[in-house]
Structure 1
Amino acid sequence: MMKLFYRQRRFMKGDKAGEPLTTGWLPPLPDMRDYSNEHPVISEISMKLGIKGSDKTKTEKKLPSRVDLRKWCSPVEDQLSLGSCTANAVVGMVEYFQKRAYGRHIEGSRLFVYKATRKLMLSTGDSGAWLRSAMGALVLFGVPDEKYFPYTFDGENVNPDWDIEPDAFLYSLANHYSAINYFCHDPLGKKTSKKDVLRNVKTYLAAGIPSAFGFFGFPSFENSDAPGSIPYPCKNEQAEWGHAVMAVGYDDNKVIINTSSDEKTKGAIMIRNSWGSTWGQDGYGWIPYDYVLDGLAEDFWSILSMEWIDTEQFGLLR
């Protein structure tokens, strides 16, 4: 049943009506082993960012009203017909850290990460994926250069070998990220309030740390007052799909209007999507804070590495 949840829907994309936009996020199952920002390893790294992770020492720092990390992001990708949004979001985060820490990035193979993720899930075919598994695949298998396992075979269409097991040499070529730690801002079973989840995500964004997350899509998804601004759903709507994106900023004063219900929300997370640069505002969009507060956006994951943090390009004072 979960494998059917994400299947592609048809929306407007740029000026082309009816072009398929594929999703691929599978809502998470509880795993009590998940790290949160309270874990000692994560807390120690967070302290270097000026973030205090322990409830006993946490201070209410005044966050900026707006954060925008787009200038350090790699070019927006298009997942085309595959349900690989989780891999797109995870690789996008790695490329962001490389570009911000070192001024350049290696274009990582999204297809490799999608295959490695499904390998961990013991899944074949275009099943979609859990973000947790995508994080695990990143740390265990790394990310080879895009040129060795390209997403497309002609620059436009998905590589026909997308579900074939990569050669062993690709695993040896992959840049290994065993030193990366990944954690969940809203681990199931940890009783973290939605308000705290939103504040944690914003705090890390203010420190230059993006996150990947999933959200539920409703019929009025594109009925907003601006391209890429995802409106809060109407009261009589039911979720139809799930999609993963990358959080790259926020704006406390961003207003989004659902043109079907005229309902307004204030405050939104800026997202980097994987539907190409013609979607939204050059591939970027917004999702209301209320999505997070009401559980319509969840499964927030971030990655941290001391190698990146030690470049002193990250932190709340940046």
Structure 2
Amino acid sequence: MESVILGGWLPDPPDPKDSSFRDFKGRLTPRATESEHILPTPTPVSNQGRLLSCTANVTADALEILMAQSGAVVQLSRLFIYFNARNYHGATNKDGGSYLRMTFEAVKRLGVCPESMWGYVLGNVNLRPPLKAYHAANDNKVTEFYRINAAADERPDDIETALRSGHPVAFGTQVGPELTNYKGETDAAFGAPSTFEGRHAMLICGVRRRGGRREFWIRNSWGAEWGLGGYAWFDESYIRWGQSSDFWVPTRMPQLA
């Protein structure tokens, strides 16, 4: 397994215009009640390689999960998302990471083309995708994305509500050497690290109860050779941890009038 890249998640600055999950969750109807619930993830686990594109990988994965629920299974262009998100904060001339708020804003406004149209070619990271890619992107959008801003102790409950109603949850956190070196030796859940190496964005796409504790299934962007085929379990203490933030719930449900 190649060495992993950290630092691509830039924490969102406060913005009072964020849509709150508190206002959205009343529209949700949890469909799953079993003790372990994992959202279907029909597209292959991504590998961000040497780029600081974890936020774009997470956003593509989240939209792929949502689109697959209506029968559209397609691998989406991570570089399309990454370029357009960085364009919002004036940073398309360098591979310097991005904000989850901006990656989701990009797929809300512009959508995202299939990866077959704008592939994950590392040397193209700072190039604007072609016009035809923007035309193809129009059908692949989120209608909105909601910030979970509950207190840390309540945060896992909101995440579970989202998951059990079919919605993955993106977030960013600090990660330690135990996670970066993880090869799937065990399926024990990771707690918050005592030392950490850098910031990283990931996607929550499942939940289980084990040994009286709640654990969350995390999809990563370090390839299928990392962890449990590209995934890992996180203890809810990692989710409540003060270094974990920017929890976003994207949706394709129609917006409220």
1:128 aligns to what?
97
Q: Which has the higher contact order (CA 8 A, sep 6+)?
A: 2
% identical aligned pairs: 29
Give, in whole Å, the separation in 2 of the partners of 1:115 and 1:276. Answer: 21
CA contact (8 A) 1:274 1:283 kept: yes
Pick from 25, 32, 35: which aligns with 1:65?
35
What is the TM-score when the length of structure 2 is the normalising length? 0.88
CA contact (8 A) 1:22 1:80 kept: yes
Secondary structure at the aligned position of 1:20 is classed as coil
2:175 aligns to what?
217
CA contact (8 A) 1:227 1:279 kept: no
CA contact (8 A) 2:169 2:248 kept: yes
1:163 aligns to what?
126
How well do the aligned residues superpose, as a CA RMSD in angstroms? Answer: 2.6
Is 1:151 the counterpart of 2:151 in the alignment? no
Give, in whole Å, the separation in 2 of the partners of 1:290 and 1:109. Answer: 33
Give, in whole Å, the separation in 1 of the partners of 2:190 and 2:154. Answer: 22
Is 1:174 the counterpart of 2:142 in the alignment? no
Kindly provide the amino acid, as one letter, of the partner of residue 101 in structure 1: S
Secondary structure at the aligned position of 1:244 is classed as strand
Secondary structure at the aligned position of 1:123 is classed as coil
Where do 1:177-256 residues align within 5 Å? 180-186=143-149, 192-221=150-179, 222=181, 226=186, 229-234=189-194, 237=195, 239-253=196-210
State the aligned residue count.
Answer: 251
Kindly provide the amino acid, as one letter, of the partner of residue 206 in structure 1: R
CA contact (8 A) 1:212 1:246 kept: yes
Where do 1:220-299 residues align within 5 Å? 220-221=178-179, 222=181, 226=186, 229-234=189-194, 237=195, 239-253=196-210, 266-299=213-246
Secondary structure at the aligned position of 2:207 is classed as strand
CA contact (8 A) 2:205 2:218 kept: yes
Give, in whole Å, the separation in 2 of the partners of 1:242 and 1:254. Answer: 29
CA-CA distance at 1:50 after TM superposition: 2.0
Is 1:141 the counterpart of 2:110 in the alignment? yes
Give, in whole Å, the separation in 1 of the partners of 2:33 and 2:91. Answer: 41
Give, in whole Å, the separation in 1 of the partners of 2:77 and 2:243. Answer: 29
2:79 aligns to what?
111
CA contact (8 A) 1:245 1:273 kept: yes
Give, in whole Å, the separation in 2 of the partners of 1:202 and 1:276. Answer: 25
Do the aligned partners of residues 179 and 244 (structure 1) sit closer, same or farther apart at CA in structure 2, a change above 3 Å counting? closer
Greater C-alpha radius of gyration: 1
Secondary structure at the aligned position of 2:90 is classed as coil
Q: Deviations over 1:255-277 (max 9, x none)?
A: 9xxxxxxxxxx432101111111
Secondary structure at the aligned position of 1:232 is classed as coil
1:302 aligns to what?
249
Give, in whole Å, the separation in 2 of the partners of 1:306 and 1:130. Answer: 23
Give, in whole Å, the separation in 1 of the partners of 2:47 and 2:232. Answer: 14
Do the aligned partners of residues 91 and 228 (structure 1) sit closer, same or farther apart at CA in structure 2, a change above 3 Å counting? farther
CA-CA distance at 1:248 after TM superposition: 0.7
Give, in whole Å, the separation in 1 of the partners of 2:197 and 2:13. Answer: 19
2:14 aligns to what?
30
Give, in whole Å, the separation in 2 of the partners of 1:220 and 1:228. Answer: 12
Secondary structure at the aligned position of 2:249 is classed as strand
CA contact (8 A) 1:220 1:231 kept: no
CA-CA distance at 1:214 after TM superposition: 0.8
CA contact (8 A) 1:254 1:268 kept: no
Pick from 26, 29, 35: which aligns with 1:50?
29
Secondary structure at the aligned position of 1:101 is classed as coil
Do the aligned partners of residues 231 and 179 (structure 1) sit closer, same or farther apart at CA in structure 2, a change above 3 Å counting? closer
Do the aligned partners of residues 210 and 178 (structure 1) sit closer, same or farther apart at CA in structure 2, a change above 3 Å counting? closer
Kindly provide the amino acid, as one letter, of the partner of residue 149 in structure 1: W
